[in-house]
Amino acid sequence: MMLRGLEPDSEALLWKMVSVGEYRDAIHSFLKLCSGAGEEWTPFEDDMDETRLMIVKKQIIVVGEGSAVETYDDVNSSPVDTNIPLYFEYHVIYNQPFSVPQLLFTATRPDESLVPLSALHEWVPQSLISSHSGDQGKQYLWETLTQIEHPILHRPIYALHPCQTSSFITQIRKFSKNWFLSWLTSIGPAVGLKIPLSLAKAH
């Protein structure tokens, strides 16, 4: 069964895609930059399939009082304790249908329960939905940040939909020496991914 929204539309195909070779080169260059900046991303490769190169980063975010994330509970939507650590794990993969990189992530509490998607939606910047209003804006939000099956690990994971990635990368290639880093530093903070300033300046 094909999950809705995972196939590229005809408009997306008009933009320049990222080849597997370009993706792999970008990942290896990014890992070298991370090594020099003390940033930890772990690569995972499949010797039988070059498209399955994935990099992973783990990060802890402490939730303060008033944060949207701490106001939800997986079972009954009751508030949870404030100032709790949330454990994020970020994955960058190559999305084959769209031929672009894609950012996936999990967010769990200390008891290993998953932070609900409805809470994470509060983190999506208004700029991503500013052109939409009312029910249309809500629908766009659910389509931007969604839950899918991990294409490599085959388990549920949250994802930023790659439908606009091709056009975005096409644009940033015009002025950025490192399109991959520019892409990651642009979308990562929307889901809590922290990019060190020393690394962000590299693009």
Biggest CA–CA distance in the chain, Å, is 48
Is-catalytic flag, 163? yes
Catalytic residue (choose from 145, 160, 163, 202): 163
109-116 long-range contacts, Cβ below 8 Å, gap at least 24? 109/80, 109/84, 110/84, 110/85, 113/74, 114/74, 115/69, 115/72, 115/74, 115/86, 116/72, 116/73, 116/74
The number of CA neighbours under 13 Å toward the Cβ of 54 is 20
Distance, in Å, from the CA atom of 73 to the CA atom of 71, rounded to the nearest integer, reads 7
| Catalytic positions, written as ranges | 163
